[in-house]
Chains A and B, each alone.
Chain A
Amino acid sequence: MKQDLAISVSKLTKRFGAFTAVNEITFDVKQGEIFGFLGANGAGKTTAMRMLCGLSFPTSGEATVAGFDLFRDAEKIKKNIGYMSQRFSLYEDLTIRENIRFYGGIYGLTDQQIKTKTDFMVGQLHLQDQINKLVKSLPLGWKQKLSFSVAMLHQPKIVFLDEPTGGVDPVTRREFWTLIYEAAQNGTTVFVTTHYMDEAEYCDRVSIMVDGRIDALDTPIELKRKFNAPSMAEVFVQLARKAQRGE
């Protein structure tokens, strides 16, 4: 693996019986890059992402994530990445402090590290007054920001975000992207899926999946030029309209 690559994937494939969910995808993601992973519903995004996180074993191909081989070292990958699912992934019946403590423990942080991280996070998110409140009492936008920070708790090299801004109000959605930019500036690689096409424009590079393949991969500016389209929304529609399979 080249040193500056966070993710390197070659001909990665996943079959479920006769159905090829992910069909020989090949791409690299550089360290510190914000990589947008787009596709129509059913294109194979979630399956591909689950493989990269070590949650689903590939049928064939090659991949390294955070410097580890996906086929041999899936457990090491899990320790070196953060993951935020599209469904809210914190414990609703625990307080903010308890959630941070819980996830810190899972990732093997020391008590001292957990304490320092807790102080830093509540400061960054302005949650000082809420820290002993149950997570379920927080508005969705706060939960999503907290969820992101928890995914970053163990300072992963790569963070995977699966539709992190769905249903979030427009101001909070933008605050969330500020967190993403800050993480990338600090060297974390961000791998993100979204249905908001304006957010595709915020990525350094974007790939678009259609029917299990990656049909386009480039910077937003280059994609718009290639497809002669005024916006990423238009690029997406041109590609996704060709899709043969449903979800």
Chain B
Amino acid sequence: MSVSVKVNGVSKSFTTGKVEVKALQNISFEVSKGEVFGLIGPDGAGKTTLFRILTTLMIANKGEASVDGFDVVKQYKKIRNRVGYMPGRFSLYQDLTVEENLSFFATLFNTSLEKNYDLVKSIYQQIEPFKKRRAGALSGGMKQKLALSCALIHRPSVLFLDEPTTGVDAVSRKEFWELLRQLQTHGITIIVSTPYMDEASLCDRVALMQQGKIMEINSPKGITENFKKPLWAMRSSAMYQLMLELRALNEVETCYPFGQYHHVVFKGNPVSEDDVRRMIGNISQREIEVRRIPATIEDCFMELMHQ
């Protein structure tokens, strides 16, 4: 498969006052054409800085990067014509209507809504009833759809989406990811960032990022399969108490709440339930549900943070 985005040894630092912040430290990866590639990490991981470098809005201190075969520094004008970028903060013109925003961006790229209607149709139809409304008066979900339509108006070959689902409720997040899958069928490469670990499983491949570094790059399945320690889910009627008692045990390496269960890793990596029950034999909780489970992306992320 041909390479769409290539990043090689990219570093970027910012200095505020006396403090130097290393936003990106020696980042390298490749994304194939038509792939949905996720940058997964919390605030401060460096996701936005990476987007700005790849969309030619910022220059790295070190390393090189290319998009569609064009160098982000030497051939930045070529890149600007062929990428779509949806920043984390809403950046359209609030005083223009939906229709005016779209035609403005279409004109910039010397195209029109009609020419690329097949691509934006499924998204644009949802905001068409409000086309005479000013963008500033739209709801959050509608703004997001308008921003996505504008980012697609010139039929980009690579689409950069910076935290499109942050602060969005669980249902709308699901719908947004369904939209991305539809776009993928048009052959567009999608690079998307998110702080929600559960969204990693919706990408073809992901990079897990933390404090300017990539901790691991793999398919979601590859990442969870790399979690080698046996992981145990536990539940009782007093979950907070259970967590405190488990954490106080010498045998327990980590214990984290995960929704209705605690996820526990034991020293010595026991694989049988009997062994685990013996290790927790002394704690005061009665009737503890114990079962072995496969790791989630979030388990892996936290494990990598400790290394």
Where the two chains meet, the residues of A that have a C-beta atom closer than 8 Å to any C-beta of B are 39-42, 86, 136-137, 139-141, 163, 166-172, 174, 177, 181, 185, 195-202, 220, 231-233, 236-237, 240-241, 243, 246-247
Partner of A170, one of B16, B44, B169, B301: B301
B227 to chain A, nearest CB (A): 14
Q: Is the CB of A167 within 8 A of B169?
A: no
B contacts with A: majority SS? mixed
Cβ of B272 under 8 Å from chain A: no
Cβ-defined contact, B305 with A169, below 8 A? yes
Check A247 against B140 for contact (C-beta < 8 Å): yes
The contact of B139 among A174, A202, A232, A247, by CB within 8 Å, is: A247
Interface residues of B in 273-307 (CB under 8 A from A): 298, 301-302, 305
User: Contacts of B239 on A, CB cut-off 8 Å?
Assistant: 202
Contact B170 A168 (CB under 8 A): no
Q: Are A40 and B171 in contact (CB under 8 A)?
A: yes
**A170 with B140, Cβ < 8 A, contacts A140-B43, A195-B170, A232-B259 known:** no
Q: A237 contacts which of B171, B301, B302 (Cβ < 8 Å)?
A: B171
Q: Which residues of B contact A40 (CB under 8 A)?
A: 169, 171-172
Please, could you name 7 A-B residue pairs with CB atoms under 8 Å apart, sorted by A? A41-B141, A140-B43, A171-B305, A174-B257, A236-B171, A243-B171, A246-B139
A169 and B42 within 8 A (CB): yes
Interface residues on chain B, number (Cβ under 8 Å)? 33
In the complex the two chains form, what is the Cα distance from A109 to B140 in whole Å? 40
> Are B259 and A198 in contact, with the CB atoms below 8 A?
yes
A246 to B167, CA, bound (A): 15
Contact A201 B260 (CB under 8 A): yes
Report B54-106 residues with CB < 8 Å from chain A CB: none
Given the known interface contacts A42-B139, A174-B257, A246-B139, the answer about A167 and B171 at a Cβ–Cβ threshold of 8 Å is: no
Contacts of A220 in B (CB 8 A): 260
Q: Within 8 Å CB of A171, what residues of B?
A: 256, 302, 305
Known: A40-B172, A169-B210, A247-B140. A163 touches B259 (CB 8 A): no
Residues in chain B near residue A137, CB distance under 8 A: 16, 19
B249 on interface, CB distance cutoff 8 Å: no
Would A231 and B259 count as touching, CB distance under 8 A? Answer: yes
Tell me if A170 and B259 are in contact (CB < 8 A).
no
Q: A137-B19, A140-B43 are in contact. Are A197 and B259 (CB under 8 A)?
A: yes
The 9 closest A-B pairs by CB, nearest first: A247-B139, A169-B42, A198-B259, A201-B259, A167-B43, A240-B171, A140-B43, A40-B169, A201-B260
Also in contact, A140 and B42, with CB within 8 A (given A174-B257, A198-B258, A246-B141):
yes
Let me know if B142 is at the binding interface, CB within 8 A: yes
User: Contacts A231-B260, A247-B141 given: A195-B167 contact, CB under 8 Å?
Assistant: yes
B121 CB–A CB distance under 8 Å: no
Q: Which of B16, B171, B257 contacts A177 (CB 8 A)?
A: B257
CA distance A171 to B263 in the complex (A): 13
* Chain B residues whose C-beta falls within 8 Å of the C-beta of A231 in the assembled complex: 259-260
Which of these, A141, A168, A241, contacts B171 with CB under 8 Å? A241
Contact A240 B42 (CB under 8 A): no
Residue pair A168, B42 in contact (C-beta under 8 Å): yes
| Residue B156 CB within 8 A of the other chain | no
**Residue B267 is within 8 A (CB to CB) of chain A in the complex:** no
Q: Does B240 contact A (CB under 8 A)?
A: yes
Cβ–Cβ < 8 Å partners of A39 in chain B: 169
- Chain B residues near A172: list those with CB within 8 A: 42
Q: What CA separation (Å) do A70 and B179 show in the bound complex?
A: 43
Add 10 more A-B contacts to A42-B140, A140-B43, A243-B171 (CB < 8 A): A137-B16, A140-B44, A141-B42, A170-B42, A170-B301, A170-B302, A171-B256, A202-B239, A231-B260, A232-B259
Q: Are B166 and A167 in contact (CB under 8 A)?
A: yes
CA distance A215 to B205 in the complex (A): 38
